[in-house]
C-alpha cells in the first residue's frame, strides 16, 4: 500500500469501520487471489484461501500496529491461509516424493532428459508436490517479484533463511520436474 488514503482506510478499519474495510477488500482481493491461485493451483482452494485471508485480516486488524506494513502483513496471512486451505483440502498423502536429484535421474535416463520442455501439466503436478512454504517462496519471489527482504517480511523469517529456502525450493522443484519427466 500504503498511500495516505489507504492508510486512512486501514486506520478506520482498525476501529471497526466495515465500509472502510470493504474498500480495502475490493482493492486487495485480486492480488490476494492471484497469489493464492499461483500457490494452490486451483480455483476452489484459492477461493477459500482468499476468503480466509481477508476474513482473518479483518479479525486481526485491531492488533496491526503499523498500517504502513499492511501489505506485508496481509501477505503473511495469505500464505498461512494457503497452508490451511491445503491441509483442509487434502488428507495426508501416503507416499513421499523420493529425494532423487535431477542429475541422478538424467544419468539414469540418458542425455536429452534435461532438455525436454516442461509442459503446463507437468509443471503443475511438480509444483503441487512442493510444500506450501516452498511454493509460497517461489511465488512471492519469482512471480510477484518481491525482493528478498520483502519475502522475509511476509514469511516472518530472516533474509538469510529466505535465501537458503529459495535455493532449497528451486532444488525441490527441479527434482519434482525430473520425476514428471519420467512419466
Partner 1 sequence: MTLDDRSLREHLDRRAVAGVTDVEQIAEVVMTRVAATASGPWWRRIGVRGPSLGVAAAGIAVLILALAVLPPSIWNGPGTSPTPSAERAAGYPATRALTAEELDAVLGSDPSARAGTVVIADVTLEVLRVVCLGTACPRYLIDLGDREIYVFDSDPPDPIVGSPYAFRVTDHPGGRLELLGSVRPGPDGLAWTLPQLTAALVDLKGPGARPVPYLYLVDAWRAVSTTQYRCRAGFSGVFGCGSGVAWLVADEATVSSNSAPPGSLRIPNAAGDSPGAGDPQHGYWLVDPFVAQEDCFLCPPAGAADLLGRVLTLDELGVTLPAPRPSATAGAPTPTPIDPQTAAVEIGFSTGSMALDGFETSDVTVSITFPAGLRPDPGADPSLAPIVVLERGAGDTGDPTDPHIPQLVRAMAPTPDAGQWTATYRLTSGDRGIWRVGGVVAYDIEGHELVIDPAISDTSPTLEVLGTHVPDLTVLLDPYPVEVGRALEVSGRVTDQDSGDPIGDVIVTVGSGAACAPGGIGTTVRTNENGDYAFMIPEADGTTVCAWISGEPGVYPSFDVDVPIALYAAVFAEPTN
Per-residue string for binding with partner 1, 48-67, x by CB under 8 A?
A: x-xxx-xxx-xxxxxxxx--
Q: Which of 104, 107, 143, 147 binds partner 1 (CB under 8 A)?
A: 143
Q: Which of 83, 146, 150, 172 binds partner 1 (CB under 8 A)?
A: 83
Residue 21 interacts with partner 1 (CB under 8 A): yes or no? yes
Footprint of partner 1 on residues 152-171 (CB under 8 A)? 155-157, 161
Residue 109 interacts with partner 1 (CB under 8 A): yes or no? no
What is the total count of residues that contact partner 1 (CB under 8 A)? 82
Q: Shortest Cβ distance from residue 95 to partner 1 (Å)?
A: 9
CA 4 to chain centre: 28
Give the C-alpha separation, 44 to 48, whole Å: 6
Tell me 34's DSSP state: H
Give one DSSP letter per residue of 6-68, joined into a string.
Answer: HHHHHHHHHTT-HHHHHHHHHHHHHHHHHHHHHHH-SHHHHHHHHHHHHHHHHHHGGG---GG
Q: Which is nearer to partner 1, 5 or 30 (CB)?
A: 30
Amino acid at each position: 500500500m500504503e498511500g495516505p488514503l489507504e492508510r486512512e482506510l486501514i486506520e478506520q478499519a482498525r476501529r471497526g469501520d466495515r465500509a472502510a474495510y470493504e474498500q480495502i477488500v475490493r482493492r486487495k482481493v485480486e492480488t490476494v487471489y492471484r497469489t493464492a491461485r499461483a500457490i494452490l493451483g486451483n480455483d476452489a482452494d484459492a477461493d477459500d484461501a482468499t476468503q480466509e485471508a481477508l476474513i482473518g485480516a479483518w479479525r486481526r486488524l485491531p492488533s496491526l500496529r503499523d498500517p504502513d506494513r499492511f501489505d506485508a502483513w496481509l501477505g503473511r496471512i495469505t500464505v498461512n491461509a494457503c497452508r490451511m486451505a491445503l491441509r483442509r483440502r487434502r488428507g495426508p498423502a501416503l507416499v513421499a516424493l523420493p529425494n532423487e536429484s535431477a542429475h541422478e535421474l538424467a544419468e539414469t535416463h540418458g542425455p536429452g532428459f534435461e532438455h525436454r520442455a516442461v509442459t503446463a501439466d507437468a509443471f503443475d503436478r511438480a509444483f503441487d508436490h512442493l510444500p506450501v512454504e516452498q511454493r509460497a517462496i517461489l511465488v512471492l519471489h519469482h512471480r510477484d517479484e518481491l525482493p528478498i527482504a520483502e519475502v522475509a517480511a511476509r514469511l516472518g523469517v530472516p533474509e538469510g533463511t529466505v535465501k537458503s529456502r529459495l535455493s532449497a525450493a528451486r532444488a525441490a522443484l527441479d527434482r519434482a520436474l525430473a520425476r514428471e519427466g519420467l512419466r
